Structure 1
Amino acid sequence: MTWSPPLREELRGVEPYGAPQLDVPVQLNTNENPYGPPAEVVAEIATRVAQAAGRLNRYPDRDFTALRSALRDYLAAESGVRVAVEQVWAANGSNEVMLHLLQAFGGPGRVAMSFAPTYSMYPEYARDTHTAWVEGHRHDDFSFDLDHAAALIAEHRPSVVLLPSPNNPTGTALPHDVVGQVAALVGDGVLVIDEAYAEFRRTGTPSALELLADHPNLVITRTMSKAFAAAGLRLGYLAADPRVCDALRVVRLPYHLSSTTQATALAALAHAPVLLGRVDQLRKERDALVRWLRERDFAVADSDANFVLFGRFDNRRAVWEQLLDHGVLIREVGPAGWLRVSIGTPDEMEAFKDALTKVGRQ
């Protein structure tokens, strides 16, 4: 008798999530910070991890109080909004933060919702928590369609609405009035504003943290993977009403943040100004790339993130493959006919421009 594992029916034939990881000279497909941590930060991390290693026989602080306090202080410095320690939560990447939210507030008989184009992992969080998934749409220019959202929310009464701002894959940020109105529409549900790329937002683009005190159903998620140049750390976090954080304590796995993760994150936060020192440069590179693409008559979405969505191509797959042939890896993602490129070093951006010039529009 041939045995096969009793896989859930909805998982049969599903490919695991993941962007291509290819060994090419220019990797601009996963929105990483191209600049690694400087030597003094690496040394601080090594020191703190070594100290934590001496107590690996003991479980870590399961409520990671010191880390929550340091994250609270960072958010206050970055956004001007100071929350209580009890309003901060963290997990292994913003992916696990989102999963905690769907475990606590989704589930059978409940609905999670977003508006396309949007982050492709959201429906997977819903699937993994047996939460029904409903996806609306945005305007053609990727701005938020509030009338459409109001109708869809009224029809489905979602318990969780997920809105990235800046949006992935378009880079589009949400204005305060949209966030406030959607929070009101969601009512007893939870509105999650995913600010994974918030540090890259343009001057004058606010953070939804400013609205937290007025909307108890609002949750703002962040990550250290992007601006902090710490994708390998896997540390995501959120700010929300303390009752939200208390609910997440129920669904998290015991001791879910290891001692070494907490030590590394604390070291990184202690050096936040240094690690964020390249953000302004990356913003300038992004804005320069937007101008360059538009001068060549590409369609380009306005971006407040560290990537640019551009098009439109009759055969984007062919363009992606030919860029790869020139040693440049970008991302085939988002609406049909569009491609996304992460912002890299000046040399990497020149390599991308040169390759795209040679490949053309197809």
Structure 2
Amino acid sequence: MPPKAEQESHALNDLLITTLALLAQFTTYLAPTSTLPPPTTPISNPPNPLHVLRDAARLVKAHTTKISLLAINKPFTPSAIRKVLNELTATCLPAMMSAVQICEQERTTTWGGLMGGEVRARVRRVFREMEMLLQEVLSIAAGGNEAGAISSSRRDSLSSTGVVWESCDALIELEKLGIAGLAVQKAEQYRDTIKDAIEELREWTEGEDTDTEGHDALLDENDEAVEGDTESLEDLFNAANSMPRDRPELKQLVEEAGGLLKKVVLLYNAVIKRRLRTFKERGNGEGEGEGEGVERLDQAMLSLRRIPHQVDELASCFYDLDDARAKEMLAKCINEAKTAARVMEKRWEDGAADEFTAWSRKWKEAVG
């Protein structure tokens, strides 16, 4: 290798290693349990962080595509890759971190915990996927005389580029969603999880037809030592996927829980339509002042997020045939739903009552 080409190869290798170390540091900062280091000075007159993320994500898509194509096509040109990588590290990465810091700085006044947490998670995913891509580029830059190894690295590079694109599209989506759209998206996911749990409980209560499904394949009534044990064997086979036949009080409790959980689903539908879709963020000049709106939204979303986990625990109590614990978890689910209803009771603009306020009061009476 000519001296100049060797120097360029070393320079690219050093830059790749430095960039990978920077990305690793950023992903550590953005971990859910980590505290983001504050900027040396507060960001004055900050721009809309979602716009910053949108523009930075589009640039990342363009730059990573260039890097990938330069890496897999001959002749391999370290200087060209280094130029694109320098642009990427000097513009896109700092911009994304700045957007995260803006969300954190204006957490209580504008962006809230819901959007702030989602920004951190999606930016972290972009950085992690970029790490994977640059590892592939580093592998290609290191060379390899075997054609199979080179071909495999090229396929991996193209695949990693596609995943980077997906993670960038998720960031761009946040700008389109805004706080209200993100809240609706999350609430619909939580609601659908509860609906799935209701359906699973219904199926478990009704049980499966095991007279001909699986039973005959294992034992036949004419087999030796089976006579007289048919009922106990059926109970054994049914235990994993259906309610015992001798627990009518448990069945009644499951039916009661199913009815209440359906009312919780109705609450989700009403909150999504009457409150989440009508939320106005301060960034567009129409929202509430002093962060009151975004604080209420965060409180409600916290309850709406907890309920599906509580419903999962409730279902586990039923599957364990623990009716006492099931009653406790059912009460916990309903109380959490009441909390969400209370937080969302008044309208955003002026805290006055409206149609949803009256509906939510009737809903509370209905769930007891």
Bucket of the pairwise TM-score, normalised by the shorter protein: under 0.3
Structure with larger Rg: 2
Q: TM-score, normalised by structure 2?
A: 0.22
Higher helix share: 2
Higher share in strand: 1
The alignment's TM-score, normalised by the length of structure 1, stands at 0.23
